[in-house]
Structures are given as structure tokens and as C-alpha cells.
């Protein structure tokens, strides 16, 4: 992978829909020569439905907004303390298809968690990252005209109770976990470690 002049933005705590709309606008305006982008964000509580999601998988929303989005995948929850890692990449320039993209993102997360002494794994047929069978990070993407947006939701230090109101990722009895219950790593350190890891593993050549 060769990321072109990776631009990094930290959006802070923002509404999910605002970031989603912004990703769409930025992607639609790309001509092919622009740098790749990495956005960090946290969101106010929201359930999001991917294009494969069924609304029946929302058991009880408890006044949490529900947004049907254009990413792949099923239903999940976003809230404060969960790090959103958005990748706006030129896949045509990278020479990647969807499977390669997911594999690379999973590998990044596995390596990041390994740095903290956490043994994370993939699960065949269920994209994302798991620790002791519990999901700690989800992946949902949209690919359009050779570009991708959306990315990874990484549970760090959050209220996990809203996951009880949904069939997470469309998988019955799927449990979730968070980094806080495994290791005490700050959000800022995680962001910096992830940026360093991307720069270390992927060339920054223009």
C-alpha cells in the first residue's frame, strides 16, 4: 500500500450525520490526484444501519437516533468513548479491491492491539476484530468510483449498554468488549500510535 501524502484530521465529538455528509462531499469532489485522508472522530449516541441491515435487528432504541447509511454491513452503535477511524482512500491508485481493503484494515487493528499486549483476531465471514470471541472493532465501508470512505469503529472507553438494544452486526448473541476492560490506554495515545503505525508500514511517497 502506498498512501499519498496522508492528511490527518481530528474532528472531535460530532454528530454522525454531519461527518457522513462531509465524507460524501469530499469523495464526490475527488479527481484522483488528491491525498488520502484519515479522520478521527467520536459521535453522540446513534445506531447506524448498513445497506444489508434489517430494522428488526433494532430491539429497543431507548430514544437513541437511528440512521440508515450507505456503508456496508449491518447494525451497530456509536457513542462517546468509541474512536471512529475514517479512511478516505483512492483505491484505484492503491490497486485494491474490497477484500484487500478489509484485510489491510483488520491487519492494522490487530497490530495496534498487539502493541498493547492484546491478542486480537479476525473471524471468517464476519469482518472486524475480536478479542476472546468478543467484538472490539467493526468495519463498514463504502466504495464509489474507485474511492472508499467510512472505516472502523473501535470500542475504547464507552458505555456498552446500548449494544444490548440491537442484534450487533446482525449476529445473534454476539458480545462486544472495549479496550478499557483489557488495557488502560488513552484515546490520544491510540490516535498517535495508529498514525505512527500507518506511516511505518505504508510508504508516504507521492
Kindly name the residue from 169, 174, 176, 198 that is annotated as catalytic: 169
Separation between Cα atoms, residue 66 and residue 48, nearest integer Å? 6
Give the C-alpha distances (Å, rounded to integers) separating 190 from 40, 43, 113, 130, 160: 11, 17, 10, 17, 19
Separation between Cα atoms, residue 100 and residue 106, nearest integer Å? 10
> Catalytic annotation on 148?
no
Cα 73 off chain centre by: 11
Pick left, alpha or beta for residue 200 (phi over 0 → left; psi -120 to 50 → alpha; otherwise beta). Answer: alpha
Helix (H, G, I), strand (E, B) or coil at 1: coil
| Count of Cβ atoms closer than 10 Å to residue 12 Cβ | 8
Rg (CA), the chain: 16
The DSSP bridge partners found for residue 153 are 84, 138
Grid coordinates standing for 47? 445506531
**Residues identified as active-site:** 169
Amino acid at each position: 500500500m502506498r498512501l499519498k501524502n496522508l492528511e490527518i484530521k481530528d474532528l472531535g465529538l460530532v454528530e454522525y450525520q454531519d461527518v457522513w455528509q462531509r465524507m460524501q462531499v469530499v469523495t464526490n469532489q475527488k479527481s484522483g490526484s488528491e491525498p488520502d485522508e484519515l479522520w478521527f472522530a467520536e459521535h453522540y449516541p446513534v445506531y447506524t444501519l448498513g445497506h444489508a441491515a434489517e430494522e428488526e435487528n433494532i430491539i429497543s432504541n431507548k430514544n437513541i437516533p437511528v440512521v440508515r447509511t450507505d456503508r456496508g454491513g449491518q447494525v451497530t452503535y456509536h457513542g462517546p468513548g468509541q474512536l471512529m477511524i475514517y479512511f478516505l482512500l483512492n483505491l484505484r491508485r492503491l490497486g485494491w479491491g474490497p477484500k484487500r481493503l478489509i484485510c489491510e484494515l483488520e491487519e492494522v487493528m490487530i497490530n495496534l492491539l498487539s502493541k498493547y499486549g492484546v491478542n486480537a483476531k479476525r473471524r471468517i465471514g464476519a469482518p472486524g476484530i475480536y478479542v476472546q470471541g468478543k467484538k472490539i472493532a467493526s468495519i463498514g465501508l463504502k466504495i464509489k468510483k474507485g474511492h472508499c470512505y467510512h472505516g472502523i469503529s473501535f470500542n475504547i472507553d464507552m458505555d456498552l449498554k446500548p449494544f444490548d438494544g440491537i442484534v450487533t452486526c446482525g449476529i445473534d448473541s454476539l458480545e462486544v468488549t472495549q479496550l478499557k476492560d483489557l488495557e488502560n490506554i488513552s484515546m490520544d495515545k491510540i490516535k498517535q500510535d495508529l498514525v505512527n503505525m500507518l506511516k511505518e508500514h505504508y510508504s508516504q511517497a507521492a
